[in-house]
Structure 1
Amino acid sequence: MESRCGNHPGGDDPDVVDPAVVREIVDRAIWLSTVMVDHANRDRADPSGLKVGGHQASSASIATIMTTLWMHHLRPEDRVSVKPHASPMLHALEFLLGALEARHMTTLRQFGGLQSYPSRTKDPVPADYSTGSVGIGATATIWGAIARRYVNGRFDAGGSGRQWALVGDAELDEGAVWEAVLDPMVAGLGEIVWVVDLNRQSLDRVLPGSGADRLAGMFAAAGWQVLPVKYGGLLTSLFDGPGGQALRRRLDGMSNAEYQRFLRHKAEDVRSLLPGVDGTDAADIVAATAALADSELLAALRDLGGHDVAALSAAFDLIDDTRPTVVLAWTVKGHGLATEGHPQNHSALLTPAQLDALAARVGGVTRADPWQRFDPRSPAGRLCDRAATRLARTPGSPVRPPAVPTDLGRTPGGTGTTQAALGRTLLDLRRAAPEVGARVVTVSPDVSSSTNLAGWLNKVGIWSPDPQRNWFTDDPETILHWREQQHGQHIELGIAEANLVGAIGELGATWSRWGAPILPIGVLYDPFVTRALEPWSYGIYAGGQSILVGTPSGVTLAAEGGAHQSVLTPSIGLELPGCTTWEPAFVQDAEWCLLAALGGLGRSDGRSAYLRLSTRPIEQALARIPAEPAARERRRRHVVAGAYALQRSAAPVVTLVGMGAVVPEVLSAAATLDVMGFPCDVLCVTAPGELFRAVQARRGRTSAESWILDSVFPANRARPMVTVVDGHPHTLAFLAGIHRVAAVHLGVTDFGQSGDLASVYAHHGLDSGSVVAAALDLVD
Structure 2
Amino acid sequence: MTVSTNLGPWVNRRGVFDRHLKNDVFRDAKLASAQRWGMSPEGQHIELGIAEQNLFLMLSALGLAHDLYGARLLPIGTVYDPFVNRGLDALIYACYQDARFMLVSTPSGLTLAPEGGQHQSINTPLLGMAQDRLASFEPAYADELAILMRWGFEHMQKPDGSAVWLRLSTRGLEQPQRTLDPAAVVAGGHWMVPRAGCPHRHRLSGAGGAGGARRLRGAAGGGAGGGAAGDHLAGPAACRVAGGAAQGAVGLRRPLLGRGIAGAAGAGAAIVSVIDGHPAAHAWLGAVRGQRVVPLGVDRFGQSGDIPDLYREYGLDVDAILDACAQALLG
The answer to whether the Cα contact below 8 Å between 1:511 and 1:603 also exists between their aligned partners in 2 is no
Unaligned runs of 5+ in 2: none
Q: Does 1:668 align with 2:222?
A: no
SS of the residue 1:517 aligns to: coil
The one of 619, 625, 642 equivalent to 2:188 is 642
Q: Deviations over 1:480-512 (max 9, x none)?
A: 101211011111124211000000100000011
Q: Does 1:477 align with 2:42?
A: no
Shift of 1:477: 2.8
Q: Deviations over 1:625-646 (max 9, x none)?
A: 22xxxxx4x2x22112211111
Q: Does 1:656 align with 2:195?
A: no
Matches of 1:605 and 1:716, distance apart in 2 = 29
TM-score (norm 2): 0.92
SS of the residue 2:55 aligns to: helix
Q: Deviations over 1:251-285 (max 9, x none)?
A: xxxxxxxxxxxxxxxxxxxxxxxxxxxxxxxxxxx
Distance 1:610-1:699 versus aligned 2 partners, 3 A rule: same
Counterpart residue type for residue 486 of structure 1: P
Shift of 1:453: 0.7
TM-score (norm 1): 0.40
Partner of 1:520: 75
Q: Does 1:588 align with 2:134?
A: no
Shift of 1:588: 1.4
Q: Does 1:509 align with 2:64?
A: yes
Matches of 2:252 and 2:313, distance apart in 1 = 38
Counterpart residue type for residue 651 of structure 1: C
Distance 1:449-1:468 versus aligned 2 partners, 3 A rule: same
Matches of 2:313 and 2:189, distance apart in 1 = 27
SS of the residue 1:477 aligns to: coil
Shift of 1:678: 5.8
Distance 1:494-1:646 versus aligned 2 partners, 3 A rule: closer
Shift of 1:459: 0.5
Partner of 2:286: 736
User: Counterparts in 2 of 1:173-322, with a 5 A limit?
Assistant: none
Larger radius of gyration: 1
Shift of 1:707: 2.0
Shift of 1:706: 3.5
SS of the residue 1:732 aligns to: helix
The one of 33, 40, 46 equivalent to 1:491 is 46
User: Counterparts in 2 of 1:687-726, with a 5 A limit?
Assistant: 687-700=237-250, 705-713=253-261, 715=263, 717-718=265-266, 719-726=269-276
User: Counterparts in 2 of 1:54-453, with a 5 A limit?
Assistant: 447-453=1-7
Q: Deviations over 1:386-413 (max 9, x none)?
A: xxxxxxxxxxxxxxxxxxxxxxxxxxxx
Matches of 2:309 and 2:227, distance apart in 1 = 28
Q: Deviations over 1:159-217 (max 9, x none)?
A: xxxxxxxxxxxxxxxxxxxxxxxxxxxxxxxxxxxxxxxxxxxxxxxxxxxxxxxxxxx
Distance 1:471-1:670 versus aligned 2 partners, 3 A rule: closer
Matches of 2:102 and 2:261, distance apart in 1 = 28
The one of 598, 612, 629 equivalent to 2:167 is 612
Matches of 1:614 and 1:453, distance apart in 2 = 14
The answer to whether the Cα contact below 8 Å between 2:98 and 2:133 also exists between their aligned partners in 1 is no
Partner of 1:760: 310
- Equivalent pairs, count: 323
The answer to whether the Cα contact below 8 Å between 1:519 and 1:546 also exists between their aligned partners in 2 is yes
Matches of 1:457 and 1:706, distance apart in 2 = 43
Distance 1:614-1:600 versus aligned 2 partners, 3 A rule: same
Matches of 2:299 and 2:49, distance apart in 1 = 32
Matches of 1:677 and 1:594, distance apart in 2 = 34
Shift of 1:669: 1.5
Matches of 1:677 and 1:598, distance apart in 2 = 40
Distance 1:692-1:596 versus aligned 2 partners, 3 A rule: same
Matches of 1:677 and 1:564, distance apart in 2 = 33
The one of 90, 99, 103 equivalent to 1:548 is 103
Matches of 2:323 and 2:262, distance apart in 1 = 25
The answer to whether the Cα contact below 8 Å between 2:121 and 2:277 also exists between their aligned partners in 1 is yes
SS of the residue 2:295 aligns to: strand
Distance 1:454-1:704 versus aligned 2 partners, 3 A rule: farther
Matches of 1:463 and 1:678, distance apart in 2 = 51
SS of the residue 1:472 aligns to: helix
Partner of 2:16: 462
Matches of 2:264 and 2:48, distance apart in 1 = 52
The answer to whether the Cα contact below 8 Å between 1:670 and 1:772 also exists between their aligned partners in 2 is no
Matches of 2:263 and 2:208, distance apart in 1 = 21
Q: Does 1:680 align with 2:230?
A: yes
Counterpart residue type for residue 58 of structure 2: A
Partner of 1:30: none
Matches of 1:756 and 1:494, distance apart in 2 = 27
Shift of 1:589: 1.1
SS of the residue 2:88 aligns to: helix
The answer to whether the Cα contact below 8 Å between 1:508 and 1:602 also exists between their aligned partners in 2 is no
SS of the residue 1:655 aligns to: strand
The answer to whether the Cα contact below 8 Å between 2:221 and 2:228 also exists between their aligned partners in 1 is no
Matches of 1:463 and 1:650, distance apart in 2 = 55
Partner of 1:748: 298
Partner of 1:625: 178
Matches of 1:589 and 1:491, distance apart in 2 = 27
Q: Deviations over 1:728-761 (max 9, x none)?
A: 1010111122321112111101111111110000
Give the % identical residues.
Answer: 34
Which structure carries more relative contact order (alpha carbon 8 Å, separation 6+)? 2
Shift of 1:476: 7.7
Shift of 1:709: 2.3
Counterpart residue type for residue 560 of structure 1: E
